[in-house]
Chain A
Amino acid sequence: EQPTVCSCRDYDGYLNPSDPTMITADDRKKLVEWCYHFVDHCQLSQQTVASAIDMVDRFLFTTSISNSSADNAVKVVSDEILRDQNKLQLLSITALYVAIKVNERVVVSSDRLAEMCRRVHTTGEIEEMERILLSGLSWKCHAPTAHQVGLSILSLVEPYVDIPEETWE
């Protein structure tokens, strides 16, 4: 509803870094795939992954640019993540944790998520990252995703054309 509020401004620098110590698009892709694997395993909606990755991107984009009102602690964390695959994984898992809370009917505990990543991250770390993620996003965890826009367009078109239900998801 408010596209400007949820938009990211520093698209160019992100995931196309000239600096070799920065995370790459490949690192991000691996995590997206891990998330899809996880939701398939738990029989959750793919929309949840779209929502989680949207949060990851927005968190890293919006806080990577210097913003006077942005909380310093959040900025420090997001700068760290941009140089640390391990921390990027923690952020992605946390975003998935939040997206499940927002989108799904079932509850997936932080312990379950910690277990799924072979306890590389503890439940305490996930819950702490949740707070940082939420405040970094100013609690805007309901942003529309491309996935939803696609579904929304399909639902408008649907009465006029014959689309098999299977192709929707």
Chain B
Amino acid sequence: MPKLTNVKAEERLIGRHPDERGHFGPYGGTFIAETLMRPVAELRDAYERYAKDPEFLAELDAELRHYVGRPSPLYHAHRWSQAVGGARMYLKREDLNHTGAHKVNNTVGQALLAKRMGKTRIIAETGAGQHGVAAATVAARLGLECVVYMGAEDIERQAPNVFRMKLLGAEVVSVESGSKTLKDALNEAMRDWVGNVDDTYYIIGTVAGPHPYPMMVRDFNSVIGHEARAQVLEREGRLPDACVACVGGGSNAMGLFHPFLDDADVALYGVEAGGSGVETGKHAAPLSAGRPGVLHGNRTYLMQDSDGQITPAHSISAGLDYPGVGPEHAWLKDTGRATYVAVNDDEALAAFHACTRTEGIIPALESSHALAYAVKLAAGMRPDDIVVVGLSGRGDKDIQTVAAIEGIHL
């Protein structure tokens, strides 16, 4: 039986997909201005080199263990499973990582890579602020300058995370263009990178962007699925029947799913943010209700109008508030290997409360979308069935949002 301590970085990095030009079937690729072609090619070469470098891999493993606090537990939500009356639900506890979410798995990896590439300045985009905090954290840890781009609207909504980033020494730049949210922060970070390629490394926070980002961010997060797979085998002696994770850009879902892709009997469910309801148009569910197009360096499913203009996303959870999705998810959808569903704001909120009250775990609103669908799924399964749910982050950051919805002033 594989022990999770045996899942070394060298077995995790660089999976089979995409092809050498970053395509997952018709999705992914490198749709960027000529000015970015060289830095992106340099990044690709560096990643391919260091993903096979024993010293780099050993350092990555040591950082994940001693700084991030990995492995994260796979927790059997016993009381909640019993209350639901169906399958046994296991929660992969990424909320227990340093900084409180899965995002740090990726920023640790990319910051080590930045250092190897001789870069002294880190830039990042952020929506809810979780990736920004994770980037600022590793920049502080490694002594790198850090600039985080954040939409002006999100800065308003996420004041505690903005202050956290500043405490960590990062400069937070308010993005006033477009819809003033995550997608515009990504545009602005790209613009910074174009102008500062010599000393600057751009840490994208999700499995989107031009090749190699979707592959690389997936690889750094695949520690989630590798651990979960070994842990469930250890606990139950068999693989789970299903894995469930929330999908905004989709990095925690890709990280959980990827090590299970070859396990044909493990069903994979990605849960998008249905907002007020997919039928209302106010949602963040491009896989459920969008169509393919090109944005932020790759081809994928997008929320867009008939003219190809990107339309704003809506979700109770700022971290899922993105009109695109990682290209590998688009491919998993089309090939049928994974199933994508949408969960509305109110369903996510109900799961947030249920998890908190039943298990004593306050989940992030993002993760609450996965929990809400997992409960529905588990309810229709047998008691000896197993569902693994990605609990991608903790919900402390969301208590103000939840309080405001319930009319409580903190």
A, B: real partners: no
Q: What is the interface of chain B, defined by CB distance below 8 A to chain A?
A: none
